[in-house]
Structure 1
Amino acid sequence: MRLPTLAAVAMLMATPALAASVEADARLQKRLGVTVQAVAAAWHAGTTAGFARVLDPGPLAQLDADLLTAAAAAQASNAEAARTKVLAAADATVARKVAQAAAAQARADSAKLTLLRRRLGLEWGPAFMAMSDARRAALISNLATGRAALVRLDAGVPLGGVRSATLDLGGGGRAMVQVIGAARTGDPRFPSSGLIGLVSGPGAQSLGAGLSLPVSLASGSGGQGVLAPRSALIRTGGGTFVYVRKDATHFERRALTGTAVEPEGLFVGGGLKAGEVVAVTGAAALFAAEHPSKGEEP
């Protein structure tokens, strides 16, 4: 005697209750290996494909060194100007001309320091100009030791709203990019001025200056939805579905819309709500129960 197949068992013990739904009691669910899980709310950020070019940190390091030297010179000359001014006013042991020369030198050193700070903004962007000396020094130290790398991000669309990006390192490797701010020089091939980003961690060591890599740019725009586990998905007839548990014995096959692939599963913009319970294993068996083969016999 031929033993019944799984699909035949499902056909005998599960009967469709409504269109695109299937009924299965607890015993059958266990036999078919059906387990369930509530789906969680998720946010999907819009993404744009672009290019990343690794920047040479040498000019930034040189500018930082010039700035620190100028800051030390300005501090010393301002102190000297203050000292000679006091002495000249007190007992004329220092000639007025010497005091005036010291004041002029202090103003010149302060102007040079201001210019160098402005160059940070003009050449590297306002975000670098706003950095404290300590933070900028730590950044340059990480760049020098290979613990970090600076990249310029460009794409064929304006990049307003982009907050992070993912570099494709090849061979399945990826590296996250933290957007620091807007670049100050444009590329005639692209409609935007570009962004400056920071790559930190082990992935930065392989990023030599001048290297170009594909990048996926994530903007703040997107949508609210849920994250469906991959094991819950059924793909048929050009659509993607899940089985939603309506009660203890009934499952409804639900079409998903507004989907996007995420590392943790499938983002779903429509068709599911946060908290709804779906079959995460045994979904294929439920589909077989809903669509039994005509040739199956017990």
Structure 2
Amino acid sequence: MQNLTEFSLNATSLKTLSIIIKVCVVIPSFFFFLCCIVVMLHIFASHRQFLDTSRYILFAYMLINDTLQIVSSVLLFLFVMGKVKFAIVYCMPLLFISTATFHNTPLILATMSLERYVAIFYPLQRPAAWHSNRIWIIILFVWFISCILPVIEYSIGERDPTVDALSTPVICKNSEVNPSPIQTFFKAVVSVLFFAVVAVIIIFTYVRILLETRKMRQDRVSVNKAMHTVLLHGFQLLLCMLAFTHPITETLVLNSSWSAEDVAFFNYFCFMLIPRFLSPLIYGFRDQSLRGYIGKAFLCCSNKVKPRLPL
């Protein structure tokens, strides 16, 4: 009996330590990401010339979307780690925002790829919808697609009659709110479609842009920079698309030494958080115009917190 008690205490201590480590990994990363996003959005708000270019408008839109996605997913992560339970009616808004913005990310990547394709191949005959003053039409269309999917997802399937949406407390995650097999099948179909369509768009547009860059005989530095951008963008897309395979990875490792919670955390951190953290790096710090403003912003912040030496 004593051995069983000690084993139970050790297991509880290890589980608590695991939760603490996960929280300590996520929270600092979240605040660093949020700091970069705030700086970039401040630059966009302070320098109106960026809002006259479709590429920068889409970039700002992606930053806002990633911020909503990260904030909602981190809140859900903390609630699950703390085993906080509340009614479905309060849980659904967070799940809706998290799901809609999650689907929105690959659509934004595809839209940004198409914008670059149109800007390079049709600089004088650019369609009106791709102009900076009309780009909001495309953004609204992307938002519509992203929002209609979770509405369909949460409306299909059977509900547990013992669960009252207004009063029954549950852990706020999709598997608890709607564990229907129909919903699982719908999510799998949507994941395959997103991967196929977005991957084809991005690969086609960036390969064409890269070939056009080589044909124009740009200098070697420009060609290498374009190639590195393509590789980083492809890596980000790969991470985003791998997030759709989390049910498969969780099923494959059920017989391994990893627990289901550890696998879910690995998928969450690597395939949901890291792609969002890469967005400022890829599109912000690699952009020559933005990089100068970002350096000045961080330099001003460091000068403000620098202590003054006594006279």
Higher strand share: 1
TM-score by length of 1: 0.20
Query: Taking CA–CA contacts closer than 8 Å with sequence separation of 6 or more, which of the two structures ends up with the larger relative contact order?
Result: 1
